[in-house]
A = this chain, B = another copy of it.
Amino acid sequence: MLESRPMEPWNWRVALVRPRNPLNVGAAARAMANFGFRDLVVVNPYEPTWQEARSAVGAGDLVRAARAVPTLLEGVGDAALVLGTTSGSRRHLARELIPLAELPSWLETRVPPQTRRRVRRAALLFGSEKTGLSNEDLSHCHGLLRIPTSPACPSMNLGQAVAVCCYELARQGLAAGRPPGARLHRSDPASAQSLAHLFARATNILDAAGYLKPKSRHATLLKLRQLLLELGLTNYDVRVLGGVLAQIEWKLGVSDH
């Protein structure tokens, strides 16, 4: 049984991206508290939604402690693992979907064994009620988690989707009881923030090299970012590659870091 296998713990953050309904923010927070999760961030919320959610009668400690941030990267930049959630009803840049119940085995193949004993930050993204996660959001994800809903009624209520995911992470023993250590380990997966810096450097070079055409620039960058994330780079890898790219930038005369 899944439960009996030793699992690496993760410190999970739930990120609600552009939520519209204040009731859903409160419901997501309550479900998190039900299953022992505490770290909530709300990305680019519709301002009245956020104000109403915070001031609602019965808004728990968790909502009051939550942060609102303007961009996804500010919300989850420190995470070594970013997973989007989806019902699998829309096309997602032709990406593999991880069935929710199979997350532990996916993590085993994805994360180097020697780093499994440490607690690291992971983020779970939930899109807005109407439009879900955008392709831009998805391109920041290391993987997409699929909640196995029925094809006849695939789209879940936001608060209920959070409840099912939190229940399942707790059941699988993937949630850590203690906060992650601050120290960086070279064999740990690189954070989203450091990968973003690396990617900005690469983009700078590709622009300078004329690789990116104006018309297809955005779509090409989304694909390349996804490719970068799927490499599963460690902190050490990022340091080495960053040095390589800095050298190329210098050679091309586009050093601005």
Whether A36 and B150, one on each chain, are in contact in the complex, defined by CB atoms closer than 8 angstroms, is yes
Contacts of A3 in B (CB 8 A): 101
Contacts of A171 in B (CB 8 A): 101, 148
Nearest-CB residue, chain B, relative to A153:
B33
Interface residues of A in 140-167 (CB under 8 A from B): 147-150, 152-157, 159-161, 163-164, 167
Q: A30 an interface residue at 8 Å Cβ cutoff?
A: yes
Contacts known (A101-B171, A164-B167, A171-B101); A35 close to B150, Cβ less than 8 A:
yes
Contacts of A87 in B (CB 8 A): 34
Q: A1 an interface residue at 8 Å Cβ cutoff?
A: yes
* Chain A 14-41 per-residue mask, 1 if CB under 8 angstroms from chain B, else 0: 0000000001000100110111100000
Dominant SS at the A interface?
helix
Whether B163 and A35, one on each chain, are in contact in the complex, defined by CB atoms closer than 8 angstroms, is no
Whether A149 and B35, one on each chain, are in contact in the complex, defined by CB atoms closer than 8 angstroms, is yes
Q: A208 an interface residue at 8 Å Cβ cutoff?
A: no
- Smallest CB–CB gap between A205 and chain B, Å? 45
Q: Within the assembled complex, what's the spacing in Å between the Cα atoms of A51 and B69?
A: 40
A residues contacting B by CB (< 8 A) are 1-3, 23, 27, 30-31, 33-36, 60, 87, 101, 147-150, 152-157, 159-161, 163-164, 167-168, 170-171
Known: A34-B154, A159-B160. 20 other contacts (CB 8 A): A27-B157, A27-B159, A27-B160, A30-B160, A31-B156, A31-B157, A33-B150, A34-B87, A34-B153, A34-B155, A34-B156, A35-B148, A36-B152, A148-B167, A148-B171, A156-B163, A157-B159, A157-B163, A160-B163, A163-B163
